[in-house]
């Protein structure tokens, strides 16, 4: 369902794959095709869907995709925080460590 929700909320920060899908969809509409998306809660056991899934996986293996900047940044920041926390956890003799054992932002106090 989230894939359909993503496609229904066009925006500047939309994932590049979503933008590409919308571009292809618009191209097909301009050619006279009427594309209808339908969400199915679970397709296990529905005739033909397992075959369609297998074909889609096979086809997607050959499509080159650049990693979006935001995906790379999120992964990089997460890795840095993990390394920082590991180093911080070894600082048991540090006075601040006893007050704040986990890294991250301090809570904002109301003024």
pLDDT given for residue 41 in this prediction: 66
Q: Which residue has the higher pLDDT, 18 or 45?
A: 18
More confident position, 17 or 64: 17
Residue 7 belongs to some domain of the structure: yes
Q: Which residue has the higher pLDDT, 20 or 39?
A: 20
Predicted model pTM: 0.42
1 pLDDT more than 60: no
- Could you give the number of structural domains in the chain? 2
d(CA 50, CA 56): 10
- The residue range of the domain holding 91 is 69-99
**Within 10 A of 32 (CB to CB), how many other CB atoms are there?**
6
Let me know the angle formed at the C-alpha of 21 by 37 and 16, rounded to the nearest 5 degrees: 135
pLDDT band with cut points at 50, 70 and 90 for residue 42:
low
Q: Is 30's pLDDT higher than 90?
A: yes
Note whether residue 55 is domain-resident.
Answer: no
Residue 60 inside a domain? The answer is no
**1 and 37 belong to one structural domain:** yes
- What per-residue confidence (pLDDT) applies to 82? 92
């Amino acid at each position: 369902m989230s894939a359909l929700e993503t496609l229904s909320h066009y925006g500047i920060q939309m994932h590049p794959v979503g933008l590409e899908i919308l571009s292809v969809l618009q191209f097909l509409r301009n050619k006279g095709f009427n594309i209808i998306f339908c969400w199915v809660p679970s397709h296990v056991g529905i005739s033909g869907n397992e075959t369609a899934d297998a074909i889609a996986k096979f086809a997607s293996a050959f499509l080159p995709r650049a990693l979006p900047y935001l995906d790379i940044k999120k992964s990089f920041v997460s890795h840095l925080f993990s390394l920082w926390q590991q180093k911080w956890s070894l600082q048991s003799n540090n006075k601040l460590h006893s007050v704040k054992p986990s890294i991250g932002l301090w809570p904002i106090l109301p003024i």
